């Protein structure tokens, strides 16, 4: 009986699917968006997926985050391109949800919407002086060297002093440190944006401080990135021996976490092998631990510009849930510098009509289903609204993390299709409707073939300069080439 019911259900599903496909829109073409699209297309033969992105270029942080000297990491673009070229999938670039089209409009036009638009803002420190010139979010600096059109004109100040301070010790902090310290001859062979390469060639920065509020056992980076920055050619690594002393709580942390143990070992090894003082002119990387930023100091000769950072010494307290917390002990010290990069984490941006948890900076959800009201005991879901990636989990995790994250979200979608929560009974205009609406608003959509023109042009430009690609880094250039 149950089996019969199931069969009948399946045949019904097939007929309806054949008539009108279920139409799903994925917002954001980063790893979360592409993995979601790939898994949906694979699991449901009758479903159509459109991936919209506010940029004319796909791939999210794989293009605009992953460091230019990590070409192997970007190989995943091949896989994503195959997804975009699936007959049942399309990429619609230059479409910003929240301005080109509102979320309620999108939701109305598709059977389901999966939000995977990442995290395009920054955590802030909330300390005095944060607004001074010369202080940037690492995100902006990364967008600048990776040719994101929104930061083409950042013009970071690389020449007013020989010192840069990076706050935070995650992998992004290590990426930006490496870009500041690596010989530009080596960067010239990468797909780094040419405006950034030119500025880095003129850079006077020789000394970079990587400042963590906790110890070497808690440094948020991973071994691969650390190994790379420690291995920069002709660099002097400076670590205070006293910072390497571990407590029993540290030992427990290392025992329970392979990453923490291996990172600590690398730091201690670097400290013991390279503690001779730097040679004149040698580039220096200082790993500073147990210091939290207290305030930024304004320059006396250049009003409105940063001249240094005041740090407060910390000690670690508490061992609740495995997290030791840095607590200031009232001892301060200043580091003079002309540039500060805050690398303390990204933050997602809310869009109108979408439930948003402003504390955590994520869309409240259970297993990727968007919660209508996260305070109710019995969860109430927004029908047909899902979330994936950094917007769902917060701004941590590598590309592969989004694969598992997408599996979870797609499992929720599949369940809702099976339970009849998502059906194509009500025919939705989908892509056609969206394209019409955008056309009426004079928004020129960049489809995957248009992107391929950008891609070809960038590779051609790169070829001339012996680099993998020469990124087009302004909106005008990108849209112009896409339109040809």
Ligand X SMILES: NC(=O)c1ccc[n+]([C@@H]2O[C@H](COP(=O)([O-])OP(=O)(O)OC[C@H]3O[C@@H](n4cnc5c(N)ncnc54)[C@H](OP(=O)(O)O)[C@@H]3O)[C@@H](O)[C@H]2O)c1
Ligand Y SMILES: Cc1cc2nc3c(=O)[nH]c(=O)nc-3n(C[C@H](O)[C@H](O)[C@H](O)COP(=O)(O)OP(=O)(O)OC[C@H]3O[C@@H](n4cnc5c(N)ncnc54)[C@H](O)[C@@H]3O)c2cc1C
Structure tokens at 424: 């194509």
Quick check: helix, strand or coil at residue 322? coil
For position 346 contacting ligand X by CB under 6 A, the verdict is yes
Is 341 marked as binding a ligand? no
Closest of 224, 124, 221, 100 to residue 169, by C-alpha = 221
Residue 404 binding partner per list other proteins, ligand Y, ligand X, none, with a CB distance cut-off of 5 to 8 Å that depends on partner kind? other proteins
Taking Cα atoms as reference points, which of 324, 323, 288 lies closest to residue 309?
288
**344 touches ligand X by CB under 6 A:** yes
Residue ranges in 85-204 assigned as alpha helix (H): 103-109, 138-145, 171-181, 184-187, 194-201
Residue 78 main-chain phi, psi, to 5 deg: -60, -45
Q: From ligand Y, other proteins, ligand X, none, which one binds at residue 343 (CB under 5 to 8 Å depending on kind)?
A: ligand X
List residues near ligand Y by CB under 6 A: 27-33, 52-55, 60-61, 65-66, 70, 73, 96-98, 116-118, 120, 142, 172, 175, 351, 389-390, 397-399, 401-402
Residue 407: contacted member of other proteins, ligand Y, ligand X, none (CB under 5 to 8 Å, by partner type): other proteins
- Partner from other proteins, ligand X, ligand Y, none binding residue 214, C-beta < 5-8 Å depending on class: ligand X
61 known member of a binding site: yes
Q: Is 390 annotated as a binding residue?
A: yes
Check: CB of residue 454 under 8 Å from CB of residue 53.
Answer: no
**445: closest CA among 148, 58, 22?**
58
Cβ nearer to ligand Y, comparing 33 with 215: 33
Of residues 235, 152, 148, 269, the one with CA closest to residue 199: 152
Task: Pick the closer one to ligand Y by CB: 138 or 285.
Answer: 138
Q: What is the 3-state secondary structure (H, E, C) of 8-61?
A: HHHHHHHHHHHHCCEEEEEECCCHHHHHHHHHHHHHCCCEEEEEECCCCCCCCH
Q: Which stretch binds ligand X (CB under 6 A): 92-100, 147-155, 208-216, 305-313?
A: 208-216
Give the residue with the Cβ less far from ligand X, 241 or 396.
Answer: 396
List the x/- string, 108-147, binding to other proteins by CB under 8 A: ----------------------------------------
397 marked as part of a ligand binding site: yes
- CA 286 vs CA 98, 186, 201, 245, 318: distances in Å: 42, 22, 21, 17, 27
Binding to other proteins (CB under 8 A) within 205-224 occurs at 220, 222-224
Residue 45 or 224: which CB sits closer to other proteins? 224
Of 197, 176, 196, 178, the C-alpha closest to 235 is: 178
Of the pair 400, 420, the CB lying nearest ligand Y is at 400
Strand segments, DSSP code E, in 244-305 are 283-288, 291-298
Position among 172, 192, 307, 473 found at the interface with ligand X (CB under 6 A): 172
Smallest distance, ligand Y to C-beta of residue 391, A: 6
225 binds ligand X (CB under 6 A): yes
**Exposure string over 385-405, b if 16+ CB within 10 A, otherwise e:** bbbbbbbbbbbebebebbbeb
Closer Cβ to ligand Y, 352 or 449, answer by number:
352
Minimum distance from residue 445 beta carbon to other proteins (Å): 28
Query: Of the candidates 204, 178, 202, which has an alpha carbon nearest to the alpha carbon of residue 190?
Result: 178
Residues 173 and 342: their CA atoms lie apart, in Å, by 8
Q: How far is the CB of 429 from ligand Y (least distance, A)?
A: 19
Among 15, 78, 303, 440, binds other proteins (CB under 8 A): 78
The partner in contact with residue 258, picked from ligand X, other proteins, ligand Y, none with C-beta cut-offs of 5 to 8 angstroms by kind, is: other proteins
Find the part of the chain contacting ligand X (CB under 6 A) among 100-108, 262-270, 395-403, 422-430: 395-403
Closest approach of Cβ 139 to ligand X, in Å?
A: 8
Q: Cβ neighbours of residue 161 under 8 Å, at least 6 residues apart? A: 204, 205, 336, 337, 338, 339
Name the strand (E) or helix (H) holding 146.
Answer: none
Minimum CB distance to ligand X, residue 171 (Å): 3
Residues in the site for ligand X, rule: CB under 6 A? 123, 125, 167-173, 175, 212-214, 218, 220, 222, 225, 292, 343-346, 395-398
- Residues in the annotated binding site for FAD: 32, 61, 97, 390, 397-399
């Amino acid at each position: 009986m149950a089996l019969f019911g199931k069969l009948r259900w399946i045949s019904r599903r097939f007929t309806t699917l054949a008539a009108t496909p279920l139409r799903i829109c994925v917002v954001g073409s980063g790893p979360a968006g592409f993995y979601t699209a790939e898994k949906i297309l694979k699991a449901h033969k009758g479903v159509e997926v459109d991936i919209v992105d506010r940029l004319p270029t796909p791939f999210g942080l794989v293009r605009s985050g992953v460091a230019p000297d990590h070409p192997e990491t970007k190989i995943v673009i091949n896989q994503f391109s195959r997804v975009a070229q699936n007959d049942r999938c399309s990429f619609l670039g230059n479409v910003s949800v929240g301005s080109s089209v509102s979320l309620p409009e999108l939701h109305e036009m598709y059977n389901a919407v999966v939000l995977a638009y990442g995290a395009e803002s920054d955590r802030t420190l909330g300390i005095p002086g944060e607004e001074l010139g010369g202080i940037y979010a690492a995100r902006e600096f990364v967008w600048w060297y990776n040719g994101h059109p929104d930061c083409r004109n950042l013009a970071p100040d690389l020449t007013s002093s020989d010192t840069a301070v990076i706050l935070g010790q995650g992998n992004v902090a290590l990426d930006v440190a490496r870009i500041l310290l690596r010989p530009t001859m080596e960067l010239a062979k990468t797909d780094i944006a040419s405006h950034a390469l030119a500025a880095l060639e003129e850079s006077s920065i020789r000394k970079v401080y990587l400042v963590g509020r906790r110890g070497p056992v808690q440094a948020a980076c991973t071994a691969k990135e650390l190994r790379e920055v420690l291995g920069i050619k002709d660099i002097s690594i400076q670590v205070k021996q006293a910072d390497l002393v571990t407590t029993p709580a540290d030992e427990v942390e290392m025992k329970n976490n392979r990453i923490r143990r291996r990172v600590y070992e690398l730091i201690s090894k670097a400290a013991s092998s390279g503690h001779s003082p730097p040679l004149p002119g040698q580039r220096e990387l200082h790993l500073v631990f147990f210091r939290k930023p207290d305030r930024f100091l304004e320059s006396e000769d250049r009003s409105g510009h940063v001249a240094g950072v005041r740090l407060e010494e910390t000690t670690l307290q508490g061992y609740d849930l495995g997290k030791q917390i840095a607590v200031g002990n009232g001892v301060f010290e200043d580091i003079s510098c002309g540039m500060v990069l805050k690398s303390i984490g990204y933050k997602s941006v809310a869009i109108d009509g979408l439930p948003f948890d402003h504390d955590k900076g994520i869309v409240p959800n259970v297993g990727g289903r968007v919660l209508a009201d996260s305070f109710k005991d019995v969860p109430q879901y927004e029908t047909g609204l899902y979330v994936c990636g950094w917007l769902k989990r917060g701004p941590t995790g590598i590309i592969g993390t989004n694969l598992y994250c997408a599996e979870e979200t797609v499992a929720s979608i599949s369940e809702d299709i099976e339970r009849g929560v998502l059906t194509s009974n009500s025919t939705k205009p989908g892509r056609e409707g969206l394209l019409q609406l955008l056309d009426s608003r004079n928004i020129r959509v960049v489809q995957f073939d248009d992107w391929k023109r950008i891609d070809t042009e960038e590779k051609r430009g790169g070829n001339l300069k012996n680099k993998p690609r020469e990124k087009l880094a302004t909106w005008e250039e990108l849209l112009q080439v896409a339109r040809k």
